[in-house]
């Protein structure tokens, strides 16, 4: 079979041109104008942004479960703060820089907060009742246990699993890391995020 290579080259150039045009359009929409788009186009733009930056964030965090949170936070910053008059040839670098800084801030914040927050302090087993406590206190702690278990069901399966391993089954960080084939540091990061999410869900009850 003979191929018309001139025709093939023309088709390939057209395809690249269409792809570049689509990419440039998506990049331009990662700005305050994003809010003016219809729902389908918004999903397409966010999907493009995610594909564009997933590997960058993953290379910094080394934890795929945190990538989604960072990408969403960075995207919100971009659609709020990107200057409308930003030149097209600068937009790609602006997006990468904002995303990278968001990931680095996430890492710094997690390290800082882990340094003075006891990750396990939320769970009921840390509420020790002395023999001199009132019956009301025992009831209060029992209700707290029940509520924690209820709100655990609202967490993502991965976060619920790691909390249960640490707080209910009382595995060490190293044991959890071995079971999940991740590092001990990543284990602590995931447990910290799970604890924060649990506290957010229980905020009204704790207050």
Query: Are both 128 and 196 inside the same structural domain?
Result: yes
> Residue 21 belongs to what domain range?
5-114
Number of domains in the chain: 2
Higher pLDDT, 75 or 183: 75
Question: 146 falls in which pLDDT band (50, 70, 90)?
Answer: low
DSSP H/E element including 137: helix 135-152
Of the candidates 60, 95, 114, which is a domain's last residue? 114
User: Per-residue confidence at 124, pLDDT binned at 50, 70, 90?
Assistant: very low
Same domain, residue pair 106 and 194: no
- Asked if 39 and 132 sit in the same domain, the reply is no
Query: Could you tell me if 12 and 108 lie in one domain?
Result: yes
Q: Which two tokens stand for residue 103?
A: 């990931």
Structure confidence by residue, pLDDT tens digits, 2-11: 444 454 444 4
Residue 1 has pLDDT above 90, yes or no: no
Higher-scoring residue by pLDDT: 22, 126: 22
132 with 105, same domain? no
Give the CATH number, domain containing residue 102.
1.10.1740
Check whether residue 32 and residue 68 sit in a common domain.
yes
Confidence of residue 94 (pLDDT cuts 50, 70, 90): very high
DSSP state of 87: -
Tokens at 136, concatenated = 């009301």
Per-range mean pLDDT, top range of 17-31, 90-104, 142-156: 90-104
pLDDT for 30-88, tens place per residue?
999 898 999 899 999 999 999 999 999 988 887 777 888 899 899 999 999 999 889 98
Do 69 and 160 lie in one domain? The reply is no
pLDDT at residue number 20: 58
Q: Map tokens 């990750």 to a residue.
A: 119
Same domain for 107 and 33, yes or no, is: yes
Residue among 59, 170, 163, 63 at smallest CA distance from 110: 63
75 and 124 assigned to the same domain? no
Model confidence over 10-25: pLDDT tens digits? 444 444 344 456 688 8
Sequence-ordered list of residues with C-beta below 8 angstroms from that of 112, at least 6 positions apart, any chain: none
Do 133 and 98 share a structural domain? no
Contacts made by residues 161-169, CB under 8 angstroms, sequence distance 24+: 162/187, 162/190, 162/191, 162/194, 163/123, 163/191, 163/194, 163/195, 163/198, 166/119, 166/120, 166/191, 167/120, 167/123, 167/125, 168/123
What one-character-per-residue DSSP string does 9-72 give? HHHHHHHHHHHHHHHHHHHHHSSGGGGGS-HHHHHHHHHHHHHHHHHHHHHHH--HHHHHHHHH
Give the whole-angstrom CA distance, residue 142 versus residue 45.
Answer: 47
Give the integer Cα–Cα distance in Å for 32 and 168.
Answer: 45
| Claim to verify: residue 104 and residue 150 sit in the same structural domain | no
Low-confidence winner among 23-27, 48-52, 143-147, 199-203 (lowest mean pLDDT): 143-147
- The CATH number for 166's domain is 1.10.10.10
């Amino acid at each position: 079979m003979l191929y018309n290579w001139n025709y093939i080259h023309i088709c390939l150039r057209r395809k690249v041109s269409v792809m570049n045009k689509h990419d440039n359009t998506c990049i331009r929409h990662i700005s305050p104008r994003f809010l003016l788009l219809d729902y389908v186009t918004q999903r397409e733009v966010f999907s493009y942004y995610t594909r564009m930056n997933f590997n960058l964030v993953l290379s910094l965090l080394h934890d795929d479960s945190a990538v989604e949170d960072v990408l969403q936070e960075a995207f919100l910053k971009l659609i709020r703060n990107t200057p409308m008059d930003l030149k097209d040839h600068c937009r790609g670098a602006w997006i990468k820089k904002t995303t990278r800084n968001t990931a680095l801030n996430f890492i710094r914040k997690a390290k800082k907060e882990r340094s003075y927050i006891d990750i396990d302090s939320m769970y009921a087993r840390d509420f020790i009742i002395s023999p001199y406590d009132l019956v009301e206190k025992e009831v209060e702690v029992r209700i707290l246990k029940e509520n924690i278990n209820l709100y655990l069901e609202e967490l993502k399966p991965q976060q619920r699993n790691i909390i249960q391993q640490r707080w209910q089954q009382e595995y060490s960080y190293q044991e959890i890391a071995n079971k999940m084939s991740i590092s001990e540091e990543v284990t602590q990061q995931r447990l910290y995020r799970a604890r924060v999410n649990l506290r957010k869900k229980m905020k009204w009850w704790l207050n």
